[in-house]
Structure 1
Amino acid sequence: MRIGVSLAPLLSTMDIAAGRCSALFSGGPVVTGCFDQLSIHAPIKHGDLVAVAAKVVSIGRSSMVLRLLATHYLPSTSNAKPEVIASAYATFIAVDTKTKRPRLLPPTATPITQPSQHDEPHLRLISQEQQLSRTLLDSFSVQRKQLSVNSTPQRDEHAIKYLQTISFKKVLHVDQTEVTIRKHFLPRNQNQAGLIFGGDILSTFEQAALTCASRMQSRRMVTVATRSIAFLAPVQPLSLLHVVARVVACTGELVVVLVRSYVDQEHNRFELQPSHQGVFYLRAADWQPVEVGVHAWNTAHEDDLHRVLPLPLPQQYAR
């Protein structure tokens, strides 16, 4: 029996493939801007040979959107056709090496006049999710202060009705699920622009989401999808990354974790600059229903929390 692996190595590999493709396309250094629409179509296990393909599907003045497909070959079937196990879209930004500011794509870059019919709806959804990502990033700093004073009988009644539709054995408040990780990256973890490699940040985010969901549910969890992992500020090699993960919603099968990170330049926990954020969808590794729920509907931004919920499991991954 082969054991499943964490999603972190795949995220790093996809970031490397997308970064290499976008660097060749733009003719210079690039940085990760956002990872969107990541879906896991099949479990990844030890011994699988995984190949990642990247293709530029849309360009802007200094940005490029790439479609990523990860396929694997079973070790016992060398002649079998490759199976798609993951897909995603990534946005990369061409930057100047010295100033670290966006630079225009060179005239030699092949213009993409119109996205394909397959990519167009995904690109439209990516634009909407990037706006939602920024809204959530701004909102949660306010929510924590208002959790204690923003509970009303009407909101509590809606929350109780929802929780009664799902047989949770226990219900926690959103603040009770919080997990904090402080990460210091070594100078060797750099990209072409001299900033921290995006794949390392993605791996740290998944680690925080897994720890948060596993501790809450008291069981091993696996990531099945992500939404709008936005890179909003660069991370320097000497910076300390302050990562906070919270469970914002639970359904019958999924645990939704919102992960946010801050750059702690002074290493004092007081001067924190928002840098990254993403939404992770996890489920139990043993395919059992979620037993612990979360009460997140007495916050100041209920609409934002409801909008991260409707993500069905990929059919290939469902039992």
Structure 2
Amino acid sequence: MSRFKTIKQSQITISELMLPSHSNFSGKIHGGYILSLMDQIAFACASKHSETYCVTASVDKVDFLLPIEVGELVTMKASINYTGSTSMVVGVRVEAENVRTGKVKHCNSSYFTMVAKDDQGNNVEIPGLILKGKNDIRRYARSFYRKKESKERTDRFTDAVFNEKTYITELKSQNVRLEI
């Protein structure tokens, strides 16, 4: 295994035609189906980078920007955005193309944290990333800070630390009724 890899060495792109069997009750492609495809491409990208089996540890911020129609060609692009010692963040971009008009729309983006495992299920070290330019550095830094802010947010709301009095004033302007 190489100690460092370029982002390009692990990138994956897949395309799939959206069928009526992928649609929900409103006739649009079901979000759960898209999430399943996104998880598959994140797995493939992470496994290619780490050269071992990977599992999904978390999915951060899934934004469904535009609906996907039956008959559109969906293309998903996955890249390693961040590497820790055993985990990596895979950025996944979803685009849908109207095959009749050629119009392409950005429908979804998300970030999957994947962890590399050996055959016994133990975490294994992964190669680091070679960053080659401003865009690579931006993506790496964005993932690094997203991960850091997520931990801070989680820590702030643990039972041991949380103080409801800090939030009561703010909650009074929300769509809740406090009965305490």
TM-score normalised per structure 1: 0.42
Q: Give yes or no for contact 1:254–1:281 (8 Å, CA) kept in 2.
A: yes
Map of 2:80 onto structure 1: 247
Q: Give yes or no for contact 1:195–1:237 (8 Å, CA) kept in 2.
A: yes
SS at 2:43 equivalent? helix
Aligned residues: 145
- Root-mean-square deviation over aligned CA pairs: 2.4
Map of 1:291 onto structure 2: 126
Cα deviation 1:119-155 (Å, max 9, x = unaligned): xxxxxxxxxxxxxxxxxxxxxxxxxxxxxxxxxxxxx
Partners of 1:256 and 1:189 lie apart in 2 by 27
Name the amino acid aligned to 1:292.
P
Partners of 2:103 and 2:46 lie apart in 1 by 28
Q: Give yes or no for contact 1:190–1:197 (8 Å, CA) kept in 2.
A: yes
Cα deviation 1:161-218 (Å, max 9, x = unaligned): xxxxxxx952112222210010122212211221001110000000000000011111
Gaps of 5+ in 2: 155-180
Q: Residues 267 and 214 (structure 1 numbering): CA distance in 2 closer, same or farther, change over 3 Å?
A: farther
Partners of 1:253 and 1:291 lie apart in 2 by 5
Map of 2:104 onto structure 1: 272
SS at 1:309 equivalent? helix
Aligned-pair CA distance for 1:241: 0.4
TM-score normalised per structure 2: 0.72
Partners of 1:177 and 1:290 lie apart in 2 by 16
Deviating beyond 3 angstroms after TM superposition, the runs of 4 or more aligned structure 1 residues are: none
SS at 1:308 equivalent? helix
Aligned-pair CA distance for 1:297: 7.0
Determine whether 1:282 maps to 2:114: yes
Q: Give yes or no for contact 2:71–2:99 (8 Å, CA) kept in 1.
A: no
Q: Give yes or no for contact 2:89–2:143 (8 Å, CA) kept in 1.
A: no
Aligned-pair CA distance for 1:242: 0.5
Name the amino acid aligned to 1:309.
K
SS at 1:188 equivalent? helix
Identity of aligned residues (%): 22
Determine which of 27, 43, 46 is the counterpart of 1:194.
27
Partners of 2:103 and 2:18 lie apart in 1 by 19
Gaps of 5+ in 1: 1-167, 315-319
Map of 2:13 onto structure 1: 180
Aligned-pair CA distance for 1:267: 7.2
